[in-house]
Every structure is written in structure tokens, then in C-alpha cells.
Amino acid sequence: MRKTDPGVHVTPTIQVIERMFALIDVLASREEAVSLKEISEKTGLHPSTTHRILNDLATGRFVDRPVAGSYRLGMRLLELGNLVKGRLNVRDAALAPMRELHRHIQQPVNLSMRQGDEIVYVERAFSERSGMQVVRAIGGHAPLHLTSTGKLFLAADDPQRVRAYATRTGLAGHTKNSITQLPVLERELAKARQYGIARDNEELELGVRCMAAGIYDDQGRLIAGLSISAPADRLDEGWLSKLQATAKEISSALGHKNL
């Protein structure tokens, strides 16, 4: 199979995407808004084509129109950039402490973040040489109410948001241990708020238990969860203090002031 040289610029195979990139590059080169005429001239695109693509980008908030006939980069790009930046910073700060925690407990350590009504696993530390272990795939996802980290995020929401989540999802269960009733979930979340940790007692997968502690940024916002997953009969409560200490270490690296 032919490999692509990373140093060589690759042109998108879909023409409209190539044109969209060219338009964004022109807008990115200027701090002020740029006129349609100038954008068209710099990209070599016909004004009608330029206008049509820019309007589509504006619909998605990737481009703003401060005044008629002029354009600049939109807030959606800032939002996405901050999202990516936050995730990369968390992963960078978390990986070494995660590996050290794994070295002590010899069980997989997971880093996950909220995405809508689910958590997404964004990093992990595990050993392929270890025996029986529960390894979550990077990019895998699961409902908030069935996971330890997900419960941390729900616990950070106000009651109205939790009820809205329950309505949207129906609190569908995966196992006989899954929490599928709102009053039960609310009691579980109250414990998470009180103790600062959350658990999954074979609620996502039979035979697997998890414990999670939160990771916070410099504004004190919960941005990720650090969890240990293990076969149900092997989860050691003695790991909890190490988990919390590691989560605090990562939070401190992100600028959080631990009280």
C-alpha cells in the first residue's frame, strides 16, 4: 500500500472541501473582516461560488458576517478549538500519573470525558502482560448513568438537568444491576457529591466494577474522570486513596487549586 509522505501537502479529494479550506485560510490570515470580492480574488473562486460556500459555513457558525458582504472566522471554530485543546491538555497531564498508578495497582486506569449523554474513553494505562483485566478501548463510549465517571458528571449537574437526562435517555439498563429509576440514581449522585468519588457496581457490564475520581481545571470545573476498572472480585478498596491522589495530581497540573 502506498504511504503518504507527512511532509507533502495532500489535496482533499472532494473539491468543495478543498475550496472551503482555501476560504478559511484567507479568513485566518486577517484579523478584520474580509470582503467577498477580496476573498474571491485571493482564492481564485468565482464570487457566486465563494458566496454560496461562505453562507453554508455561516449557517454552521464557522464563519460570521459582521456586515453584509464581509466575512470573518466564526465562534464555532473557537469552541471546537477550546474543546480539542482541553482534551489534549488533559491527556498530556494525565498520561504519566496514570501509568504510575497502573504500576502500583496492576489494573487498567482509564481517562474519560463527557460528550453529551455519554462518556468517551480518551486515554488508558494498562499492561498487555497482565493477567485478567478490563481494558476499555480508546474512543469507546457508554451512558453516563451506567459508569462511575458518568455519575461524577451527572452529580455536577443541577437536579433539573439530571431529570432532563433521565427523560431523554429513559435510563436504559445494560445489566440486572443497572440503575434505571430516577430516585435511585439521585441517591447515588448525592453520595458522589458527598464523597467526591463514584462507582459502577456491575452496572455497565456484569463481572466488572469501577471507581472514579474527578479531574478539575483551573476554573474548578469537572473536565474528566479517572477510573479503575477491574473484575468484580478483584476491585480493592485500598486503591481508592491512590486513585484520588492521582486525580488531584493531574488536576494540579491543569492549574486547579486543591483545597
CA gap 3, 66 in Å, rounded: 43
- Top pLDDT among 98 and 5 is at 98
Say yes or no: 241 and 164 in one domain.
yes
CA gap 71, 56 in Å, rounded: 12
Q: Which cell is 209 given?
A: 466494577
Say yes or no: 94 and 165 in one domain.
yes
Say yes or no: 38 and 120 in one domain.
no
Say yes or no: 134 and 51 in one domain.
no
DSSP class of 63: E
* Total domain count, the chain: 2
Q: Quick check: 226 and 249 in contact, CB under 8 A?
A: no
Say yes or no: 121 and 60 in one domain.
no
Amino acid at position 40, single letter: S
Residue 36 lies in a domain: yes
Does position 204 have pLDDT exceeding 50, yes or no? Answer: yes
Q: Which cell is 212 given?
A: 472514579
Say yes or no: 100 and 203 in one domain.
yes
CA gap 185, 166 in Å, rounded: 9
- Residue 175's domain comprises 81-253
CA gap 51, 25 in Å, rounded: 15
pLDDT band at 139 (very low <50, low <70, confident <90, very high): confident
Say yes or no: 63 and 93 in one domain.
no
Say yes or no: 63 and 131 in one domain.
no
Say yes or no: 91 and 116 in one domain.
yes
Residue 67 φ then ψ, to 5°: -140, 160
What mean pLDDT do residues 12-30 have? 86
Digit-coded pLDDT (tens) for 150-188: 999 999 999 999 999 999 999 999 999 999 999 999 999
What CATH number did the domain enclosing 42 receive? 1.10.10.10
Q: What is the pLDDT of residue 140?
A: 85
The number of angstroms, rounded, from the C-alpha of 168 to the middle of its chain's C-alpha atoms is 20
pLDDT band at 83 (very low <50, low <70, confident <90, very high): confident
Query: Considering 73, 104, 120, which residue would you say is the last residue of a domain?
Result: 73
Q: What is the pLDDT of residue 136?
A: 67
Residue 189 lies in a domain: yes
Does position 84 have pLDDT exceeding 80, yes or no? Answer: no
Q: Quick check: 71 and 64 in contact, CB under 8 A?
A: yes
Which residue's entry shows cell 437536579? 159
Digit-coded pLDDT (tens) for 210-250: 999 999 998 899 999 999 988 988 889 999 999 999 999 99
Neighbours of 145 (CB within 10 A): 28
Say yes or no: 179 and 221 in one domain.
yes
Q: What is the pLDDT of residue 7?
A: 42
CA gap 31, 45 in Å, rounded: 21
Neighbours of 62 (CB within 10 A): 19
Q: What is the pLDDT of residue 8?
A: 42
Q: What is the mean pLDDT of the chain?
A: 88
Residue 23 lies in a domain: yes
Q: Which cell is 157 given?
A: 449537574
What CATH number did the domain enclosing 123 receive? 3.30.450.40
Amino acid at position 198, single letter: A
Say yes or no: 31 and 159 in one domain.
no
Say yes or no: 159 and 243 in one domain.
yes
DSSP class of 130: S
First and final C-alpha spacing in the chain:
55
